[in-house]
């Protein structure tokens, strides 16, 4: 079955042009919630540092919330950051201010529910995410030192709550394809979703928090996050299996995992220029060294205590 991916060129985050572009892409990708529908908007709120580049741009989140408000949806904007809480990161990034007047409520994803994994074991996932009627997934286009790129599929890993993300690295990392399989399991367990990637200014060289800006000038949307990721890797001139998640999706023969599955009603990947975009040359281990794991947990705790 052909998977549609909508790509649009966007040079900056200025409104009202951005609001119109986000609404147009969400509409094209099939995001038409019923009046009163319970919608979770899931941006990337990784940590309260370098937020202008590491997190989804607040103007993009606001534009999505305004579109959903026009449909009468009940909107919660939520994530479970690697460090701190959604509210702490939202304050640091300016997202809390951007959401004013949209009717959206900001929340930290919690209320953990166990999700069985296809390769054994389970992982704790937010019940708020699992119980939403629709998820609007808003990743930032970034490289990732461990997973090559963090795009639409990877952004659903944010539904794994709190310290369980770091623990999942330790339990499933460096064990064949277990880690990427877990992320696909989480993604596939989510309710119906539409993904829209913020690639107007992307992060390259290193990631997901401390890379460098790259003016990619792109917004992209699809109902199928696997298809959107395959298209975005193609923008970089790379095949879908260039990333661990792309390889896992192809191994499972998921719809949208192959370029020949994709249809581009608007712009095509070749319409974008990504010359000089740098991806990580040598992937870092998925599992953290014990000292780094402990240090990271202490840092997260301190961030929460400072942030209130």
> What pLDDT is recorded for position 139?
98
* Local mean pLDDT, 10-residue blocks, the chain (308 residues): 96 94 98 98 95 97 98 97 91 97 96 95 96 98 95 97 85 86 98 98 95 98 98 98 97 97 97 96 73 49 51
A 10 A CB-CB count for 67 gives 24
Burial class (CB in 10 A: 0-12, 13-18, 19+), 156: buried
Q: What pLDDT is recorded for position 167?
A: 84
Report the relative pairing of strands 134-138 and 38-43 from DSSP bridges: parallel
pTM of the full structure: 0.92
According to the model, what pLDDT value does residue 287 have?
Answer: 73
Predicted pLDDT at 290: 53
| C-beta separation of 115 from 157 below 8 A | no
Inter-CA distances, 251 with 181, 255, 258, 271, Å:
10, 11, 11, 28
Q: Quick one: which of 94, 114, 257 has its CA closest to 184?
A: 257
pLDDT at res. 298: 47
pLDDT of residue 189: 98
pLDDT at 292 (0 to 100): 53
Residue 14, class by beta-carbon neighbours within 10 Å (0-12 exposed, 13-18 middle, 19+ buried)?
exposed
Show Cβ contacts of residue 97 under 8 Å, excluding neighbours closer than 6 positions.
58
Q: Beta-strand (E) ranges in the chain?
A: 3-4, 6-9, 38-43, 74-79, 105-108, 112-116, 122-126, 134-138, 140-144, 148-150, 193-204, 212-214, 218-222, 262-263
pLDDT at 297: 45
């Amino acid at each position: 079955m052909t998977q549609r991916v909508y790509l649009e060129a966007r040079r900056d985050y200025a409104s009202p042009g951005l609001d119109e572009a986000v609404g147009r892409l969400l509409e094209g990708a099939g995001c038409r919630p019923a009046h009163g529908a319970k919608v979770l908007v899931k941006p990337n709120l990784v940590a309260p540092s370098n937020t202008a580049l590491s997190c989804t741009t607040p103007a993009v989140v606001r534009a999505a919330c305004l579109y959903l408000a026009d449909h009468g949806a009940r909107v919660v904007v939520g994530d479970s950051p690697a460090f701190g809480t959604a509210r702490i990161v939202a304050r640091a990034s300016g997202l809390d201010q951007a959401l004013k007047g949209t009717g959206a409520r900001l929340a930290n994803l919690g209320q953990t529910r166990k999700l069985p994994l296809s390769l054994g074991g389970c992982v704790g996932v937010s019940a708020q995410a699992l119980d939403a009627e629709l998820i609007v997934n808003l990743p930032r286009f970034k490289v990732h030192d461990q997973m090559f790129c963090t795009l639409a599929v990877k952004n659903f890993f944010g539904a794994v709550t709190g310290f369980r993300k770091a623990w999942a690295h330790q339990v499933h990392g460096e064990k064949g394809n277990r880690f990427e399989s877990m992320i696909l399991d989480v993604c596939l367990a989510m309710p119906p979703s539409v993904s829209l990637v913020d690639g107007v200014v992307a992060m390259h060289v290193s990631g997901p928090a401390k890379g460098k800006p790259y003016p990619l000038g792109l917004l992209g949307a699809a109902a199928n996050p696997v298809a959107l990721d395959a298209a975005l890797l193609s923008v970089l001139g790379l095949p879908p299996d260039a990333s661990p998640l792309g390889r896992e999706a192809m191994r499972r023969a998921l719809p949208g995992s192959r370029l020949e599955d994709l249809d581009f009603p608007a712009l095509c990947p070749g319409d974008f220029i990504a010359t000089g975009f740098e991806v990580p040359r040598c992937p870092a281990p998925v599992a953290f060294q014990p000292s780094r794991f402990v240090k990271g947990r202490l840092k997260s705790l301190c961030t929460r205590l400072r942030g209130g």
